[in-house]
């Protein structure tokens, strides 16, 4: 089994700016979803989002910079050959919106690649930086890529930084697709009506084990299996059969040299859209059979944070392993058929050393990550 150690987890979310504060609110069943006042929602299909009080739409202030501030607390000095992988769908979209509204702001810094290089400069990372935009699986795709680069001896350490903001541009786009829920989203619920957007950021430091040991870094968990696939089904909709996700989970299990029975719980993508949730349940059933494995989604509490979702969920999955319990799935009051004994709006305990985290995105991409405690 290959182990890529996790030695730093940083988060910035409407539920808290530390793993402990985020976890405590998740496990208590709190939700950050509320009516958004950042822009006028009357033209759109929802008024709800999970958002922070950031300086959006103020001249010469970048909301993204403020969002990222808390990610580095406790990270310490980075290994000299650390590579940065950013993950975002829209980068500093707030800057572009300010330009469109006639405000005086910097004319650069909003493209995802520019944002990645800016973060690298701030952290004095000189070994390279690039951005992954893989739709809603961007964050988990970055973790997959980081683990693969370390396994291939191309990098000894990779810092994954994933982030996205709630912006009117993105909000209007999802509204046009008619997949925003008119009420706070209800993952895996029979009466779900769509997703709710959220914003957040996560930082994950992945390190080769011998280097982590030589630098006396604390192990917070490890990535032992990873995979990415594409079902090439539709520009936005996943394959209803779940075949792409099944393949990704299978490949991740093979890399980890694990059997499905050794997975203790699943951190699902769980957006609350009709097709995504059904597809995930079908894929999970194909891999895990009739076993009632605990499944949870945090999007009823945090909204769908797009490019940040997969990385934030790795942070939450690592904490779930430490605690040996999964948080409630907010909004799921009447589980979809087939999920009745797996998804719950209550805390569920489990006993295992491994947890699976999965994500799916537009364009048919699927990711699977297996985290070890």
Please write the tens of the pLDDT for every residue from 4-18: 999 999 999 999 999
- What is the side-by-side strand order in the sheet with 33-35? 33-35, 48-50, 197-198
CB 87 within 8 A of CB 131: yes
Token reading at 296: 């949870």
CA 354 to chain centre: 18
Which tens digits make up the pLDDT trace of 41-59?
999 999 999 999 887 666 5
CB 305 within 8 A of CB 165: no
Which tens digits make up the pLDDT trace of 295-310?
999 999 999 999 999 9
Residue 112 has pLDDT above 90, yes or no: no
In the chain, what are the domains?
4-214 (3.40.47.10), 222-372 (3.40.47.10)
Per cent of the chain over pLDDT 70 is: 96
User: What pLDDT does residue 110 have?
Assistant: 65
Give me the mean pLDDT over the 160-178 stretch.
94
**Which whole-number Å values give the CA distances from 249 to 33, 128, 226, 356, in the listed order?**
30, 30, 8, 8
Angle between helices 168-176 and 93-100 (to 10 degrees): 90
User: What pLDDT does residue 240 have?
Assistant: 81
Residue 360: exposure state from Cβ atoms within 10 A (0-12, 13-18, ≥19): buried
The 3-state DSSP class for residue 135 equals: helix
Residue 107 has pLDDT above 70, yes or no: no
Q: 185 or 102: whose pLDDT is higher? A: 185
Per cent of the chain over pLDDT 90 is: 76
User: What pLDDT does residue 77 have?
Assistant: 85
Using CA atoms, how far apart are residues 352 and 350, in angstroms rounded to an integer? Answer: 6
Using CA atoms, how far apart are residues 246 and 285, in angstroms rounded to an integer? Answer: 9
In the predicted model, what is the mean pLDDT of the chain? 92
CB 195 within 8 A of CB 272: yes
Residue 177: exposure state from Cβ atoms within 10 A (0-12, 13-18, ≥19): middle
Residue 102 has pLDDT above 80, yes or no: no
Select from 271, 82, 71, 47 the least CA-distant residue to 166.
47
Range list of β-strands (E), 46-170: 48-50, 82-87, 129-132, 157-164
Using CA atoms, how far apart are residues 358 and 367, in angstroms rounded to an integer? Answer: 6
* pTM for the whole structure: 0.95
Give me the mean pLDDT over the 116-126 stretch.
86
Which tens digits make up the pLDDT trace of 347-362?
999 999 999 999 999 8
User: What pLDDT does residue 59 have?
Assistant: 59
Give me the mean pLDDT over the 103-124 stretch.
76
């Amino acid at each position: 089994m290959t182990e890529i150690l996790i030695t730093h987890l940083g988060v910035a979310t409407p539920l808290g700016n530390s793993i402990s504060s985020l976890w405590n609110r998740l496990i208590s069943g709190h939700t950050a979803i509320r009516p958004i006042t950042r822009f006028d929602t009357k033209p759109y299909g929802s008024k709800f989002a999970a958002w922070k009080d950031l300086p959006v739409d103020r001249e010469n202030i970048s909301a993204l910079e403020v969002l990222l501030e808390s990610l580095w607390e406790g990270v310490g000095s980075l290994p000299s050959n650390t590579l940065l992988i950013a993950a975002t769908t829209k980068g500093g979209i707030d800057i572009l919106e300010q330009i469109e509204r006639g405000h005086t702001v910097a004319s650069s810094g909003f493209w995802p690649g520019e944002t990645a290089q800016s973060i690298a400069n701030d952290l004095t990372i000189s070994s390279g930086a690039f951005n992954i935009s893989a739709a809603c699986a961007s964050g988990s795709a970055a973790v997959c890529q980081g683990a693969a680069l370390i396994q291939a001896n191309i990098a000894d350490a990779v810092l994954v930084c994933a982030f996205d903001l709630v912006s009117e541009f993105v909000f209007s786009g999802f509204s046009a697709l008619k997949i925003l829920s008119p009420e706070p989203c209800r993952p895996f619920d029979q009466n779900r009506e769509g997703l709710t957007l959220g914003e957040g950021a996560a930082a994950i430091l992945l390190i080769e084990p011998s280097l982590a040991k030589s630098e006396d870094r604390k192990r917070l968990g490890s990535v032992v299996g990873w995979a990415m696939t594409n079902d090439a089904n539709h520009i936005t909709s996943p394959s209803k059969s779940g075949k792409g996700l099944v393949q990704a989970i299978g490949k991740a299990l093979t890399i980890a040299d694990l059997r499905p029975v050794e997975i203790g719980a699943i951190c699902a993508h769980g957006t609350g859209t009709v097709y995504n949730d059904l597809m995930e349940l079908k894929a999970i059933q194909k891999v895990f059979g009739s076993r009632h494995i605990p499944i949870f989604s945090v999007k009823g509490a945090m909204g769908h944070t797009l490019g940040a979702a997969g990385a934030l969920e790795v942070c939450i999955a690592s904490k779930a392993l430490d605690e040996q319990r999964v948080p409630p799935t907010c909004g799921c009051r009447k589980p979809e058929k087939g999920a009745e004994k797996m998804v719950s709006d209550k805390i569920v305990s489990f006993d295992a050393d491994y947890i699976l985290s999965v994500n799916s995105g537009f364009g048919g991409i699927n990711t699977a990550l297996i985290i070890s405690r």
